[in-house]
Structure 1
Amino acid sequence: MKAGEDARGARSEKPKKLGLCVLCGLPAAGKSTFARALSHRLRQESSWAVGVVAYDDVMPDAFLEEASARPLTKAMELIQSARPSQWKSLRQELLKYLEYFFLAVINGCQMSAPPSRTEAMWEDFLTCLKDQDLISSSALEAQSHYLLTKTAVSRPLLLILDDNFYYQSMRYEVYQLARKYSLGFCQLFLECSLETCLQRNGQRPLPVPAETIHLMGSKIEKPNPEKNAWEHNSLTIQSPACTSEARLKLTDLLLTALENPIKYVEENVEQKVDSCFRTT
């Protein structure tokens, strides 16, 4: 896969507006509801192709349920200590799926399946794209190739990644992907009080342990453009309210991201930041 070379060549011949938007915040902050509403608005008002990739819907259910069902000490041990490499590798595997999708869009070809993948997770990812009219079903699936829809290839395309992303290192991995293929990149932090998150979470059929939300609230690293230059294209929005002023700022943020893709830098994209990465 000649990623950087092929991507830059295709983009120079036929530039296409492509972007990644990281949506982050505490559990039950309203991210999924916000993402669905934003996706609908962008499709209707801007005629963009929009895909929402909710990590909770794509990551293996068994692993997530095992973590959520345990008390705080056991859940955090599972996620951060007992199997940190597995959790981190699953997140990176999902980023690899996104890379294969963007490669297909950039090069105007079919999307191929990664040779190494978690089948259940890959199938959920495909379902996510199909449900949002980004790939179509065809007989080629038997050969692990997937056709992009006309919507995906003919319109400005924005993928919204819906997850907690409570460490900046998690978001930086997405930024690396955007930089590798000269995509637009931006971040939305949905700010919600801890009390409101706990109240909403308690009303869910499968709530996250309250202690986990408390711990995330104490550890969350909000986007910090003053400290990290790569986070300059970020916006904090109050949940559940979204004022007219906030809507205008949000529209401007997304347009800026699509109109100003990150310039590809000829260097090893796996920068020496592993030492500061935290596993979750």
Structure 2
Amino acid sequence: MSTRICLLPLIGLPASGKTTFSNWLLDISQKPINIIHICFDDYLTPPTNEKSSKFEFKQQRNSILSRIRELIYELKYAGNIPTHLSAVVKSSLCTDLHDFVVLCDDNNYYRSMRYKFYQLAKENACAYAQIYFDCELKLTLERNSLRPAMDRVSEETMQRMAKRLETPDPTTHHWELNTYTMSDCENYNVIRTRILAFLTKTFENMLQPMPVQTKLETIQSLVHQLDLLLRRRIGEIIQTEQLTTKRQIIAKALNIKRKELLQNVKIKAELKEISFNDLNEYVNMLYS
């Protein structure tokens, strides 16, 4: 029997129950599936300074995604977790089972974060699902205050994340259709059958990679869309300058930068490291 894998990001504020749920799922006996738990807190480290925080955070997440990609490959073609990864993931495995659910335990409060897992699942012909822990901010703050000091998240960060959290919306984002919502007072043992049924059902819809031609069209579309956004922003910048000669100098410099950014995005698109959600970030790079 061939190996089947489902990538399943967990969504929710800190202290909403994601890791508790993961540990509970790992401890269940006689499961119909194998469980692998990857806790992002074990990988992510605080940034060295505020200025580099966004860059460092993105680099760390990309590094974890690379490890997950490697894990998928090893599970598919070797049927086991590679030794150098087995020390940093938790797992509950049975050699008689060939279905693996990989729990990606992080806050995943931006939809773009989740979409990267969906892309990874699609390019590797995996299934995709997600569990949203719908927990009130007040309760997460209470739980967070009971954590050891070194594990607590600042209240300011919790408040900010609560405002920015993008809840799953399958009506406008079809790829989020396979979502299970967990309320903050759910008793896992009571809903055990329902949870296991949801996880098992995910394997009925294995995603398929895009055809080569479709992939090429996507890359061209990404680059074209970014080019339009950059040209519009350049026009806005130039209009703020009164002197014609200075406009020409600014326009020349910005167009050089535009071409560099387009080339950079083309390379990243070929490596599947960028999506339409990332384009505004590149528009902002015109100023750097």
Question: What is the TM-score of this pair, normalised by structure 1?
Answer: 0.70
Change beyond 3 A, Cα 1:182–1:152: farther
Secondary structure in 2 matching 1:46:
coil
Q: Name 1:28's counterpart in structure 2.
A: 15
Q: Which has the higher contact order (CA 8 A, sep 6+)?
A: 1
Give 1:9-158 correspondences, 5 Å limit. 15-41=2-28, 44-59=29-44, 63-64=45-46, 78=50, 81-108=51-78, 125-129=85-89, 131-132=90-91, 151=94, 154-158=97-101
| Counterpart code for 2:138 | E
Q: Name 1:164's counterpart in structure 2.
A: 107
State yes or no: 1:200 paired with 2:204: no
Q: Name 1:147's counterpart in structure 2.
A: none
Does the 8 A contact of 1:190 with 1:236 survive in 2?
A: yes
| Counterpart code for 2:276 | K
| Counterpart code for 1:242 | N
Per-residue deviation at 1:192?
1.0
Summarize deviations over 1:4-39 as a string: whole Å, max 9, x none. Answer: xxxxxxxxxx53221111111001111111111122
Secondary structure in 1 matching 2:103:
strand
Does the 8 A contact of 1:186 with 1:253 survive in 2?
A: no
Does the 8 A contact of 1:100 with 1:111 survive in 2?
A: no
Change beyond 3 A, Cα 1:46–1:211: same
Decide which of 169, 177, 196 is 1:232's aligned counterpart: 177
Per-residue deviation at 1:58?
2.5
Summarize deviations over 1:238-260 as a string: whole Å, max 9, x none. Answer: 12323788544433321221222
Mark the structure with the bigger radius of gyration.
2
Structure-1 separation of matches of 2:192 and 2:81: 34
| Counterpart code for 2:124 | Y
Consecutive unaligned residues in structure 2, runs of 5 or more: 216-269, 283-288
Change beyond 3 A, Cα 1:154–1:250: closer
Summarize deviations over 1:68-87 as a string: whole Å, max 9, x none. Answer: xxxxxxxxx83xx5331221
Question: What is the TM-score of this pair, normalised by structure 2?
Answer: 0.68
Structure-1 separation of matches of 2:22 and 2:181: 14
Per-residue deviation at 1:204?
1.0
Structure-1 separation of matches of 2:68 and 2:198: 22
Structure-2 separation of matches of 1:152 and 1:272: 40
Structure-1 separation of matches of 2:17 and 2:81: 32
Q: Which moved more, 1:50-59 or 1:166-175?
A: 50-59
Structure-2 separation of matches of 1:223 and 1:152: 34
Q: Name 2:163's counterpart in structure 1.
A: 218
Q: Percent identity?
A: 24
Cα RMSD over matched residues? 2.8
Does the 8 A contact of 2:74 with 2:81 survive in 1?
A: yes
Structure-2 separation of matches of 1:54 and 1:230: 23
Summarize deviations over 1:89-136 as a string: whole Å, max 9, x none. Answer: 1101101011111111212278779xxxxxxxxx6x54123x5367xx
Structure-2 separation of matches of 1:39 and 1:133: 6
Consecutive unaligned residues in structure 1, runs of 5 or more: 1-13, 68-76, 114-122, 135-150
Q: Which moved more, 1:242-251 or 1:255-264?
A: 242-251
Per-residue deviation at 1:47?
4.1
Change beyond 3 A, Cα 1:227–1:202: same
Structure-1 separation of matches of 2:22 and 2:14: 14
Per-residue deviation at 1:273?
3.3
